[in-house]
Amino acid sequence: MKFANNILETIGNTPLVKLNKVLGEDFPALVLAKVETFNPGNSVKDRMAVKMIEDAEKDGRLKPGGTIVEGTSGNTGMGLALAAIVKGYKCIFVTNDKQSKEKCDILRAVGAEVIVCPTDVTPDDPRSYYSVSKSLAEQTENGWYVNQYDNLSNRETHYEQTAPEIWEQTEGKLTHFVAGAGTGGTVTGCGRFFKERNPNIHITGIDTYGSILKEIHETGEIHPENAYSYITEGIGEDILPENYDMSVIDHFEKVTDKDGAIYARKLAKEEGIFCGYSAGSAIAALKQMQDQFTEDDIIVVLLHDHGSRYVGKIYNDDWMKQMGWLD
């Protein structure tokens, strides 16, 4: 009989799917989507959540019966929660009020305690979800603060797992890799793996207006005061996480909140691939960059999470109309 011993053994080996319609008939290159929604927690974050926990177990940071504390936009929390259920840990997750209600409800459904903090505060403000999650971990007996932003197990996961899968699936023939840029783990880990094997593979991080990642990449300077609030979920930062290695990223492409939402809906209606906000941003970015590609290119675009996380927002006609993005 063939079966998994627990849900964590089903993580990975996600399919690579050709995109046929969403980018238009005139799009020159072959575009293959790495559909990470096939992971049990419906996002790419399942991968690194398990590795971060296992690495912390090995070096004693996470002890038996401990409590996992993390600031999350929802997807990392889901991956951590699934691992916690299997391994016997408690979870406290801190998020911000920009995230969809569905994400908070899902985290509570898998047994986590969820605390919501304001979005429009600086990262070092004691009310920010960075500050609250860190202080909660210090105050919680046998608590462990995951810190996906600076925890290098994050990017190592994608170097060890995600990128080798893509390399095998494409037989090493990909010419471009495109992924949303948030904590930096996926784009850096995959980028490093691909660059080591073929320095000519072009690595693009998808950023959003209001984030400072593109500015840091182009100037080498960090100016948190240039960050401002945005609606897109899952990508962009107002800090520079330690997971970033900007030397393996060739370009950051910014996408508006509106275009990310519209292209997520197009992806669902035209390809039957029901994905989240950052996936829409990635597809919109490819369309913006269309003139940079040729018919010889093979582009792999990573689709980060599932559309069910956003049914109250980008997949809700009333919300889209309130935003002025739908006639």
**pLDDT tens-digit map of 136-178:** 989 999 999 999 999 999 999 999 999 999 999 999 999 999 9
Q: Is the pLDDT of residue 123 over 90?
A: no
In this predicted structure, what is the pLDDT of residue 147? Answer: 95
Measured distance CA(206)–CA(213) in Å, rounded: 9
In this predicted structure, what is the pLDDT of residue 100? Answer: 79
Taking each helix axis from N to C terminus, what angle separates 75-87 and 45-58, rounded to the nearest 10 degrees? Answer: 50
Q: Which residues contact 253 (CB under 8 A, 6 or more apart)?
A: 204, 205, 206, 207, 214, 285, 288, 289
Short-list 94, 113, 106, 114, CA closest to 312: 106
- 314 pLDDT band, cuts 50/70/90, is very high
* All structural domains of the chain: 7-38+161-323 (3.40.50.1100), 45-145 (3.40.50.1100)
Lowest mean pLDDT across 103-107, 166-170, 215-219, 306-310: 103-107
**pLDDT tens-digit map of 43-58:** 999 999 999 999 999 9
Short-list 319, 318, 315, 285, CA closest to 302: 285
Measured distance CA(241)–CA(314) in Å, rounded: 27
Q: Could you tell me the two tokens for 43?
A: 């996002």
Q: Counting beta carbons within 10 angstroms of the beta carbon of residue 7, is it exposed (0 to 12), middle (13 to 18) or buried (19 or more)? A: middle
Lowest mean pLDDT across 122-131, 191-200, 295-304, 310-319: 122-131
**pLDDT tens-digit map of 17-75:** 999 999 999 999 999 999 999 999 999 999 999 999 999 999 999 999 999 999 887 89
Q: What is the mean pLDDT of residues 175-184?
A: 98
Q: Counting beta carbons within 10 angstroms of the beta carbon of residue 291, is it exposed (0 to 12), middle (13 to 18) or buried (19 or more)? A: exposed
Q: Could you tell me the two tokens for 137?
A: 């971990």
**pLDDT tens-digit map of 219-276:** 999 999 999 999 999 999 999 999 999 999 999 999 999 999 999 999 999 999 999 9
- 290 pLDDT band, cuts 50/70/90, is very high
CA distances from 141 to 49, 68, 224, 263 (A): 21, 11, 33, 44
Catalytic residue among 34, 45, 51, 214, which? 45
45 is catalytic: yes
Measured distance CA(42)–CA(275) in Å, rounded: 9
Its sign, for the CA torsion 271, 286, 209, 97, is positive
Q: Which residues contact 59 (CB under 8 A, 6 or more apart)?
A: none
